[in-house]
Structure 1
């Protein structure tokens, strides 16, 4: 499988293209939406549009070569439980908006270039 892991997918199909197996899930409305893009050597900033993935529960972007900052748009991921940005080149401060993620239980930001304090929520 490449890039995205779909767990508890009731109906999936696999297509092989250029030696890569691509798994397509036709039941994307399940409760366990997980995106695992770890170890892909991605470069550049984390796109702001990632905040549009409202049903996302787990996001793993470690380790890559991502840089820039953590987008404040991540606070739109209301049901996010796990965010792993380990071993990238992300800098600046952690956005205060992330404190509103009340389901966030796992946050791994180690081995980056972050500064400042960890935001505190309720």
Structure 2
């Protein structure tokens, strides 16, 4: 099932305006329809920016009304909107086989034991 997000013009309206408040309601209604949301939501307000943990719908509503929405959050991926697919070339592998060994090296380097670095310094 594909969810159709509401219009986003409200995101740039003044926070105290009817347009903005109606937009918050339409956003929250849209977010509630996301399958598997379990009653907890990422908060797209200017303070949380979807990264400060999940909140109840009431808390998200409060933040959006008091603090405003992050206007750069234009594709609501954390709230059920799929990523746009236009411009993505199909049939091209996302990584080449020659890049795989380098990726493995990067992961291994990231998880190196700090004490073993002493051996490299000598």
> What TM-score does the superposition give when structure 1 sets the normalisation length?
0.20
Larger relative contact order, structure 1 or 2 (CA cutoff 8 Å, min sep 6):
2
Greater helix share, structure number: 2
Greater strand share, structure number: 1
Larger radius of gyration: 2
